[in-house]
Chain A
Amino acid sequence: MKSLKAQLHSLADPEEELAILEERHPGGSESSFQKHLEQIGLFPLRPTPLQIFQINLGKMCNQVCKHCHVDAGPDRKEIMTRETMDQCLRIIQSESSLTTVDLTGGAPEMNPDFRWFVESIREIRPDVTILVRCNLTIILANPRFNDLPEFFRKNQVEVVSSLPYFTAMKTDSQRGDGVFEKSIQALKLLNEVGYGLKDSGLVLNLVYNPSGAFLPGSQSELEAEFKKKLWDKYGIEFNSLFTITNIPISRFLEYLIRSDNYESYMEKLLAAFNPVAAAGVMCRNTISVGWDGYLYDCDFNQMLDLKVDAPKTSHISDWNSAILSTRTIVINNHCFGCTAGAGSSCGGTIA
């Protein structure tokens, strides 16, 4: 499977995606995300103190997942340079309110400077949580990645990994043939060095997102089910399960339109709009850095090319905390994905 970009698909163009999100929105502009925020007094949406610095190290990935909001894959060559990483390091050092550096991609480990970057972050900020969104199969993709669990342990990196289900059929249908079996092997390797084990201090969290046009169920119930099934069948342990709602952009948007589920999925998100979740959306305490150094309110806005609404500081090289802390967060109708039901963020539910 190729990326939408390599297929020259119209939905590889953010403008096309935004046109669909606006023009085909159920109820039109009267039921837009902005209108919903206005009704609960949250518009314009403003940031809270910056805590999470999320960095996209590149769109290159060894997998081509059907729902990927990054449209990542082996055919994507966009990757963060060491120069941009250096600029990120300066911000990580100077922004003392930061508690978490969240490394994502693609497969962030495929960036040739990944290990140098992680070690540098750990050196300048021993206190910060470094989180890697690891797709698991990368650990087995090439012998040079086999020691990643040990590297993560050494640098006290938290591992967050997607596993859509505890059976092969559902996992492979979303993430590709053979992904489940390799993911199980990788989880065992992570357990072997202590990840996910009680009291080891090495955190291994899993991410569940629905494999279709429906919302995730209760995070705590799914976590209990995953823990039981993975332990009984494979002897695998992990810390927490995060449920994440699929955001209607990129490949998931393409799927929704192709399968004629777009309107009903959006209606579902709208009906489940939760003001408490809206107040806690992750874009309020996060800055997302693109592979090329541009700044966004979140990873989804990044993929839609919706840069922070602060033209003087829209690139990491022009970082200005004062301006960023008073910016207005850029929203659109895809944001309903984060406010439905118990809410959704890169760290699971929020309400």
Chain B
Amino acid sequence: MKTYYNPEDLKKFSKIGELQKSMADKFFSYYAEVFKEGALTAREKSLIALAVAHALQCPYCIDAYTTDTLEKGCDEEQMMEAVHVAAAIRGGASLVHSTQMMNKIKEISM
């Protein structure tokens, strides 16, 4: 069965440089720099990445950062809380726009 997403394709990520090398090199070097231990620990960054992966609903990123957070010693409870942070922001982002709706209601209602 053909599908748009194939887990095997994740392994080919590094090959994007075959079509545009310098930009790919810059991207991967930037990517590596971002995830290094800094003001945030590598573990904290991995949990943020896991949450963002869910907000973006990227299956590759979800696979990659589920593994990475487990490897960095996060447990299932922490991982699910991170996903709830993503869900809360996504839900909140919809709901906070209802203030605009409420403004418009006021504007055009008698």
Chain A residues packing against B (C-beta within 8 Å): 165, 167, 169-170, 208, 210, 212, 214-218, 221-222, 225
Contacts and interface: CB of A to CB of B under 8 A. Distances in A.
B71 A217 contact: yes
B75 A218 contact: no
B84 interface: no
Nearest to B11: A267
A167 B77 CA distance: 10
Contacts of B41: 221
Interface string B63-77: 000010011110111
**What is the interface of chain A mostly: helix, strand, loop, or mixed?**
loop
Contact of B70 (A169, A210, A221): A210
Interface in B26-78: 37, 41-43, 67, 70-73, 75-77
A221 B42 contact: yes
Contact of A222 (B37, B67, B73, B76): B73
Contacts of A216: 71
Given A214-B67, A214-B71, A217-B43, 17 more contacts: A165-B73, A169-B75, A170-B76, A208-B73, A210-B70, A210-B71, A212-B70, A215-B71, A216-B71, A217-B42, A217-B72, A217-B73, A218-B42, A221-B41, A221-B42, A221-B73, A222-B73
Contacts of B77: 167, 169
A208 B71 CA distance: 11
A230 to B, nearest CB: 13
Nearest to A165: B75
A218 B72 contact: yes
Nearest to B7: A264
Most chain A CB within a 10 A radius of its CB, from B37, B71, B73, B77:
B73
Contact of A169 (B72, B73, B76): B76
Interface of B: 37, 41-43, 67, 70-73, 75-77
A169 B71 CA distance: 16
A218 B42 CA distance: 9
A288 to B, nearest CB: 28
Contacts of A212: 70
Q: Which 9 A/B pairs are nearest by Cβ-Cβ distance?
A: A217-B72, A217-B71, A222-B73, A214-B71, A214-B70, A214-B67, A217-B73, A215-B71, A225-B73
B46 to A, nearest CB: 9
B43 A167 contact: no
Contacts of B76: 169-170
B65 to A, nearest CB: 12
A218 B71 CA distance: 8
Nearest to B46: A217
Nearest to B73: A222
A165 B76 CA distance: 12
A210 B43 CA distance: 15
A165 to B, nearest CB: 6
A221 B71 contact: no
16 contacts: A165-B73, A169-B75, A169-B77, A208-B73, A210-B70, A212-B70, A214-B70, A215-B71, A217-B71, A217-B72, A217-B73, A218-B72, A221-B37, A221-B43, A222-B73, A225-B43
